[in-house]
Each structure stands twice: as structure tokens, then as C-alpha cells.
Amino acid sequence: MTTLAPAADYDSLVAGFRWQIPEHYNIAADACDAWARRDPDRRALIEFGPEGTRRELSYRTLARLSNRLANALTAKGIARGDRVAVFLPQVSETAVAHLAIYKMGAVALPLAAVFGPEALRFRLADAGVRALITNRAGAEKVAGIRDALPALGLVVSIDGTESGAEDYGTLVDRASDRFETVDTGADEPAMMIYTSGTTGPPKGALHGHRVLLGHIPGVQMHHDFLPQPGDRIWTPADWAWAGGLLNVLLPALKLGVPVVARRFDRFDPEEAWRLMVDAEVRNAFIPPTALRMLKAAPPPAGVALRSIGSGGESLGRGTFDWGRETLGLTINEFYGQTECNLVLSSCAAIGVNKGGAIGRAVPGHEVAVVDADGREVPHGTQGTIAVKAPDPVMFLTYWNNDQAMADKFRGDWLMTGDQGTMDDDGYVTFVGRDDDVITSAGYRIGPTEIEDCLVAHPAVQLAAVVGKPDAIRTEIVKAFVLLRPDVEPAETLASEIQGHVRDRLSAHEYPREIEFVEEMPLTTTGKVIRRVFRDRVRDEAQSPDHGTD
């Protein structure tokens, strides 16, 4: 089976699970067409517009719309194996586009709505994208770089024919709503998601159709055995990110759980709370930074969440406790990355939950903490979090980057590049990315714990911690702090915050420098982008007038 059978405890859960990955498998056939045949009127999507509009799509409607788009793209010459980019926010057309691409046997390339022209140019050119489905804003961005994209022969916009795009509505309306889904292999490429590129250019992680099956146990685990009667799921994460697409949209469609869609140009905690009430959301994937922002806006009456999963960065004890005290539920932390997602998880329903830990191995996945040579380290020892191959959730390869693929593995272990420790019970604690870990006076310091401590200060809204090069200590801890709206920056406040961390953590971990910022750079999923600050401090360290006190 590829779904979890509810169990009384973790050991029983693991013992009762076996992978059953068929030789032939297609994401759209499983996540859409199968439901359209057996329960066509079942709700698949509930789309809320910014103006308060509401639109519901059944599986029958989703199947017919994706069939029409598949036919339209086929008529335009798009074929099996071609890369088709989806450059749209969280709207119903995004789901339709993905399903249509999978039905054709083409490869979906999700792109975050906030990408600018240069980010787009690199990804579209590197992937050799032949068609792009977007909106007015996206078409405008692409129009300026289209000369640099010789493979891109078709741009389709859901907003009409501006900027050289063809009209999505016209293409779909003219096409037949009957389409024979390609009989793809489970290992046949289905999607390519670009990593953030911590070193060098972003890399395209190519996934097979089996990646959806690989995600199901982890999704079920951190949502306390999804689906349950009345479940309805939402995430603020962009569906272009693995967290939005593979943790929420596609697994929920496969499991028959209605997905709430709502486009947010910028995450607004009050709007998010209101949506959860209006849409009767029962299950949510909310990244830790977004949860910290929600803490600043008290939940209104009517919030009826059954489960919250959180991942992408460490949750922190304060946010974990807030979930229990304010929402009356335990936030289930989980872990994965673009190349191999959702391999560790918590599950409060069976007592698999420990504050500060990112979970235990999801049934079906073998996870360890290893040294630089791929050897498992003793429990309690810091090393690299690694996943044993083969694994259904693991990517096929990096697109056109054999060297990066070779560097990713030590024998059968996929090296995540994340530092962590594992305790005697198998719980993993996240320390930080290899390139986020701070080396100061011989100590290796993870930024997460310090950031958690900083945001626990009543004046602090968000924080990012990086290592700043230092001639004496190698690096010092520097914190960039976004204060709450009613707080003014001051040197005395900086000293107070430093003391807050020093007193709660240790003398070697407190930030020796604090810089107040007016804006915190966030990803589309609400994660703080430490890289921006890391690059800044390195540039400062190289300037002629830089010195240390």
C-alpha cells in the first residue's frame, strides 16, 4: 500500500506499511481522473478571489478542463517529454495546467509568481521550455526576455492576448473535453522544480510520476491520518514550491480532500485567519515564519483547525507551545527538501511529537545522520541528514548537471546538506544548512535556535541570523531584526535583545551585532531568506574600512 493505515503507535505504523509502486503510473490519472469516474461531483477545489468571490470545482470539472488544455497544447505541437512552465499564483488554472501537462506525458516546470525576468530567463532557458502558461503580469515579464528563449514557442495567458500571449480561454473553449491520458512509467519525468541555488546557479530537480506516491505517507502522518470526515486543506505556500504542490495540492487531490485556493500577493496574518474561518479550513500546511506572523494576530472566533503541519525551517519551542495554548492542537513538524521531500515527520495522534525536533522517519523512508563520507554517526553527534536510496520520493536527477548529481550522494546516501542530530528514539533535530552553520571561536552554531530566541523577545517580529567574517573568531553571530510595528529601534533595545539571548542560550551564541531592518526578505512561502544577509555581511567584511572591535 502507499497510504498509511491508522495505528496505535509508531512501531505499528512502520510495521504495517509497504511501498506498492506500480510500473506504470500517472499523477493526473490517479489524482483527478480516478475520482472523476467514481465520484464526479465530489469537490476538488474551492477557490476564493481577492474580492470575496467563491468558485467550486468538482473532479468532473477538473478532469474536463485539464482534458481541454491537454488537447489545446497537443494541437500546438507540445509533446511527451517537452517542458511546459506554469507561471501562475494559487488559482484554479494552476491545478488545471499541472494535470493537463501530466496527462500529456510532458514535464511541468512550476515557477514562483514573484520571479523577476532574470530568474525566469535562467530557468526557462536552462530547461529548454517550449510552452508557458501564465497571467498578464507573467506575460509582461517574459515578453522582455523572449528573444533569449529560442525554444519558447508558445505563451498562453489566462488574462488574454496582451504581451504577445495567446488567450487561455479561447484555446480551452475550442478544444475537446475528452483526452486519453498517456500511459507513463512511474519513473518517467513528470515535473522539474528548481532549487534555490545556495551555491552556484539554481539546479533543476527532475521528478518522476512516482513522486506523488512517495509523498502520501508523510502528508498523512503530519495531518494525523488525513483524510478524516470533513477535512479541507489550505496552505499559504505558493503551489510553485514543492511544499505547496507536493505537500498539499496533489496529495489532497489524490486523497479526495478539497483544496482551498486563495491568491495572496503578500502574506497577511489577519487575512489568513479570515480565510481559514470563511473556507472552513480543517488542515493547513503553514511554514514556521508564517506561523510566527499569525501569532501577532489573535485568531478570530470560528477557527476550527484539526491539524497543522509545518516545515521548511525549524519551528521553535515558542511557536510549538503557542499552537497548543492558543489553537488547542499540536503542530506537527516535518522535514524534506526539493530533491527528497517529506522523509521525516511528527504525528501527534500517536504521540510522535517532540518540541524542537523535526520528527522521525516516515514509514517507507530510511533516514540517518552521517559524516562527510556517508558513515552513520553516533546518536547525539552532529552530522548531515541523509536519506537512503532508492526511495520513491527521491528525485531522478539534476537537469543537465551530472557533477551536482554525483556530489549529492555518498554511496547510497543522498546528502541533504542540512546539519542535524538524531537521538536514541530516532528523533532528528535540525541544526542548520551546511552553508548556514556559523563557525565562531571553534564552536559550530546553528542559526535556528538563536532566531527562535530572538523572536521570543516581545519587541521582535522576525529575525535572521548569519555568520559575519571576523579576523579573530572566524565568524561572529550577527542578527538582523525586524521589530514589531509599535517599537522604535534604539541602541538600548539592541543591548537588551543581546542580553535576552545571552541569558537564554549561551555567551558564545548571542549576537555580537544586531542590525534593525525595515523589511525582512521572505520567500513565497514565508521563509526568511538568510542568503541575502549572508551576502551582505561578506561584502561588508571585504570593504576597505571594515574592522572589528
Q: Over the stretch 247-256, which tens digit does the pLDDT of each residue have?
A: 999 999 999 9
Residue 549's pLDDT band (boundaries 50, 70, 90)? very low
Q: Over the stretch 116-155, which tens digit does the pLDDT of each residue have?
A: 788 898 899 999 999 999 999 999 999 999 999 999 999 9
Q: Over the stretch 13-32, which tens digit does the pLDDT of each residue have?
A: 999 999 999 999 999 999 99
Say yes or no to pLDDT of 274 above 50: yes
Domain match, 3 and 28 both: no
Domain match, 218 and 145 both: no
Pairing of strands 283-285, 307-310: parallel
Q: Which residue, 343, 370, 340, is CA-closest to 358?
A: 343
CATH, residue 463: 3.30.300.30
Number of domains in the chain: 3
Q: Single out the residue in 209, 238, 255 at which a domain terminates.
A: 209
Domain match, 286 and 343 both: yes
CB 210 within 8 A of CB 246: no
The pLDDT assigned to 548 comes to 37
Block residue for cell numbers 514565508 = 526
% of the chain with per-residue pLDDT over 90: 74
Domain match, 334 and 265 both: yes
In a domain, 418, yes or no: no
Beta bridge partners of 206: 192, 397
% of the chain with per-residue pLDDT over 70: 96
Residue 21: other Cβ atoms inside 10 A: 15
Domain match, 162 and 200 both: yes
- In angstroms, the CA 348 to CA 308 distance is 10
Say yes or no to pLDDT of 461 above 50: yes
User: Which cell numbers hold the place of 522?
Assistant: 521572505
CATH, residue 305: 3.40.50.12780
Considering the chain, what is the average pLDDT of its residues?
Answer: 92
Residue 531's pLDDT band (boundaries 50, 70, 90)? confident
**Residue 234, Ramachandran bin (φ over 0: left; ψ between -120 and 50: alpha; else beta):** beta
Q: Which residue, 190, 188, 212, 184, is CA-closest to 341?
A: 212
- Cα torsion angle, 490, 495, 499, 502, sign: positive
The pLDDT assigned to 547 comes to 43
Say yes or no to pLDDT of 322 above 90: yes
Q: Which secondary-structure segment (H or E) carries 169?
A: helix 168-174
The pLDDT assigned to 196 comes to 60
pTM given for the model: 0.85
- In angstroms, the CA 328 to CA 29 distance is 38
**What average pLDDT does range 405-421 have in this prediction?**
95
Three-state secondary-structure class, residue 462: strand
Structural domain that includes position 49: 24-209
Domain match, 65 and 141 both: yes
- In angstroms, the CA 120 to CA 111 distance is 8
Say yes or no to pLDDT of 8 above 60: yes
Domain match, 503 and 464 both: yes
The pLDDT assigned to 305 comes to 98
Say yes or no to pLDDT of 199 above 50: no
- Name residues whose C-beta falls within 8 Å of residue 168's C-beta, 6 or more positions apart in sequence: 93, 133, 156, 157, 158, 159
Domain match, 199 and 216 both: no
CB 26 within 8 A of CB 102: yes
Average the pLDDT over each of 152-156, 198-202, 364-368, 524-528 and give the range with the smallest value: 198-202
Domain match, 186 and 219 both: no
Say yes or no to pLDDT of 522 above 70: yes
Length of the chain counted residue by residue: 549
Say yes or no to pLDDT of 473 above 80: no
**What average pLDDT does range 430-454 have in this prediction?**
77
Three-state secondary-structure class, residue 18: coil
The pLDDT assigned to 19 comes to 96
- In angstroms, the CA 448 to CA 451 distance is 5
Interior CA angle at 389 toward 386 and 390, to 5°?
Answer: 150
